[in-house]
Structure formats: structure tokens, C-alpha cells
């Protein structure tokens, strides 16, 4: 029996959403999972402590009906289109990521939901200024200029602007979490767009993996479990009605790809993984690799990173091998 406020969690079966689900259950809450998927493998250990509703955020009437049924005080919105899909199908991405998120805000204000927490991204900053790039890596604060270059990040910026408007106009408490370079078990898996996940999953499966460059490239990553840790931190602070706040969330562990290889080989001594010299292993531009300043989340939310990269890999492996 849950001892804390009811929660509606959209996208609760996905990479980050499933981690949020497990974390909120561990905190004594019972989430209502609202998702278009049916694969519960990533929440198998806690599914008996959740309620489930099949549905899409693109159907606002159904969303409101579910909200009326369960009467959540908080909505955790983690449904959306990801990766290359967004760039390839802009019309669908707009409908889901922007219009769908607007439906979440509308539902919150019409149905008396006090708080909405949703994910944003480090990509919202675009290519950061030189002082924040290699080799300096000065931590990037939330007030760094926002200049998103890809559609996914542009939609996140628009969503943040909408959130600010809704919070002020309708006296809501809305929090956006700008996650660092995200990774974790999920459908993206060994996606070529996220070579870090390819490295991790190949090591777990003892399959060789090679990247042509990038061993010196450092970045600040955000494991899905760390994202969930931040969400629970936000749930535990008092409401701040009429306020929109955005927080950087990441591990705080600035680590190079070469160091990642060392960690993986330490955990899996028989694994053969190699990365060539140089930087920018994702071929996305040097301005996308940086450390995030999470001091605001620490002071306002009490956020404390819980996952070193090594601990994240161990948790990743445990989840992957049990799904």
C-alpha cells in the first residue's frame, strides 16, 4: 500500500521512465503507468506495485479520463519520440513531443494536478562556448545561452517555454530536468547513434567492439538510474506553485572514452574493446561534450549523484541480464 501521493507516469516502460518507475516504487509511492507499450521487462520486479493504463498522450480526452480516475497530485511525463526518429519524421515528433506535452500541461491545470516533472536535455544548449569544451570543461550552468541545433532539442526548448507560461498563468509547479548524455537499458540498446551503449552492451555480452576515434573525449553522462534519483529528489521538496524551474542533472563524473574502456575491461577482463585516438567519437561537434553544473539541483532539490560510471554499468548489466 502506497504511503505517499499518487503519481501518473507517462512513458513508464521506456529507458528512463522504467528507472523512474522503479525509483518511485522504492520511495513508497504507487505509480500509474500510462504508456503505448506493453513490454514490462524493465519493471518486472515492481510491476505488482503499479497500476497500468494503455494510452497515448496524443489523446487528451483519454489522458484526462485516466487522471480523473486516479486523481494524481503529480504527473511525471516521460513519454515522447527519441533519437533519429525525431529528425526523420518532424511532423509526428511535433505532435508527440510538443503537442502531447502541451496536453499534459492542459490536463494538469484542468484536473487539479499540482506538479509536473518532465525531461529536457543537455542538447538544449546547442554547441557550448569554447570555455566549456575540451580541454577546459568549465561546468555549464543553467543560464548558459540556449541555442539548440537539432529538432529534438528545439522541441524541448519550446516545451520549456510553454512550461514557464503554464506555471505562471495557472499556478502550477513545473520542473524540467536537463539530463546529461543519457544511457541505460532500453530499446535503443546498441544503437549506432549512442556508441556508449554499444560499448557497454558488447562488454556485458563479451562481444568485441571498436570505434575509430574518441579515446581522449570526455563527457558528463547521466545513467537512467541517476535520472530517476533526481526525480525522486524533486518529489521530496515542497511545492512551489506558479514556478517553472529547469535543472541540470548528470553524474558529475567527467570521464573519457579511454577511461570508460578501462572500467569495462576491469569488469569484463576477457572483453575486447578498442577506441582509436582523438575526440568527437559521435561526429556531432566538439560543443556537445561538456560537464554540467548541477549545483542548482543540489541546493534546491537536494540532488546527490548516486552512480559512478562503474556502478551504473553494474546496474545496467543486472537489468539487461534479467529482462
Whether residue 265 is contained in a domain is answered as no
pTM over 0.85: yes
Whether residue 105 is contained in a domain is answered as yes
Whether residue 47 is contained in a domain is answered as yes
Using CB atoms within 10 A of its CB, is residue 172 exposed (0-12), middle (13-18) or buried (19+)?
A: buried
Classify 54 as helix, strand or coil. strand
Whether residue 67 is contained in a domain is answered as yes
Q: What is the DSSP string of 283-312?
A: SS-GGG---B--HHHHHHH-------HHHH
pLDDT at 2 over 70: no
Q: Domain residues for 34?
A: 7-184+223-251+291-306
9: left (phi over 0), alpha (psi -120 to 50) or beta: beta
pLDDT value for 251: 95
Whether residue 315 is contained in a domain is answered as no
Mean pLDDT taken over the chain:
94
Gap between the Cα atoms of 19 and 215, Å rounded: 29
* Helix 257-267 × helix 195-204 angle, to 10°: 20
Whether residue 191 is contained in a domain is answered as no
pLDDT at 116 over 90: yes
* Helix 257-267 × helix 309-321 angle, to 10°: 50
Classify 312 as helix, strand or coil. helix
Q: What's 143's domain CATH number?
A: 3.40.50.720
Q: For the segment 149-170, what is each residue's pLDDT rounded down to a tens digit? A: 999 999 999 999 999 999 999 9
pLDDT value for 322: 80
Whether residue 35 is contained in a domain is answered as yes
pLDDT at 1 over 50: no
Residue the block writes with cell 545561452 = 145
* Number of CB atoms found within 10 A of residue 28's CB: 11
Whether residue 30 is contained in a domain is answered as yes
pLDDT at 193 over 70: no
pLDDT at 253 over 50: yes
Number of domain units in the chain: 1
Per-residue pLDDT, averaged over 113-141, amounts to 97
Amino acid at each position: 500500500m502506497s504511503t505517499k501521493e499518487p503519481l501518473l507516469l507517462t512513458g513508464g516502460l521506456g529507458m528512463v521512465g522504467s528507472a523512474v518507475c522503479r525509483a518511485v516504487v522504492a520511495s513508497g509511492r504507487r505509480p500509474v503507468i500510462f504508456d503505448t507499450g506493453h513490454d514490462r521487462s524493465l519493471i518486472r520486479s515492481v510491476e505488482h506495485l503499479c497500476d497500468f493504463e494503455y494510452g497515448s498522450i496524443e489523446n487528451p480526452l483519454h489522458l484526462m479520463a485516466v487522471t480523473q480516475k486516479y486523481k494524481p497530485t503529480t504527473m511525471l511525463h516521460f513519454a515522447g519520440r527519441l533519437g533519429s526518429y525525431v529528425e526523420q519524421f518532424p511532423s509526428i515528433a511535433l505532435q508527440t513531443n510538443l503537442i502531447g506535452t502541451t496536453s499534459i500541461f492542459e490536463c494538469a491545470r484542468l484536473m487539479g494536478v499540482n506538479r509536473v516533472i518532465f525531461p529536457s536535455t543537455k542538447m538544449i544548449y546547442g554547441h557550448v562556448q569554447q570555455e566549456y569544451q575540451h580541454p577546459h570543461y568549465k561546468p555549464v550552468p543553467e543560464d548558459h545561452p540556449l541555442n539548440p541545433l537539432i529538432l529534438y532539442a528545439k522541441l524541448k526548448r519550446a516545451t520549456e517555454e510553454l512550461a514557464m507560461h503554464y506555471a505562471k498563468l495557472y499556478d502550477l509547479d513545473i520542473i524540467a530536468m536537463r539530463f546529461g548524455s543519457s544511457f541505460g537499458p532500453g530499446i535503443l540498446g546498441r544503437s549506432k547513434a549512442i556508441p556508449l551503449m554499444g560499448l557497454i552492451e558488447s562488454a556485458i555480452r563479451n562481444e568485441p567492439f571498436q570505434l575509430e576515434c574518441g579515446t581522449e573525449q570526455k563527457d558528463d553522462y547521466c545513467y537512467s538510474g541517476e535520472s530517476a534519483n533526481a526525480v525522486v529528489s524533486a518529489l521530496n521538496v515542497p511545492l512551489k506553485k506558479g514556478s517553472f524551474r529547469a535543472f541540470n542533472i548528470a553524474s558529475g563524473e567527467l570521464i573519457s572514452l579511454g577511461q570508460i574502456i578501462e572500467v569495462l575491461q576491469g569488469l569484463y577482463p576477457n572483453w575486447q574493446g578498442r577506441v582509436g585516438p582523438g575526440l568527437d567519437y559521435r561526429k556531432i561537434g566538439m560543443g556537445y561534450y561538456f560537464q554540467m553544473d548541477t549545483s542548482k539541483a543540489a541546493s534546491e532539490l537536494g540532488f546527490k549523484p548516486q552512480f559512478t560510471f562503474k556502478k551504473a554499468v553494474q546496474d545496467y548489466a543486472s537489468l539487461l541480464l534479467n529482462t
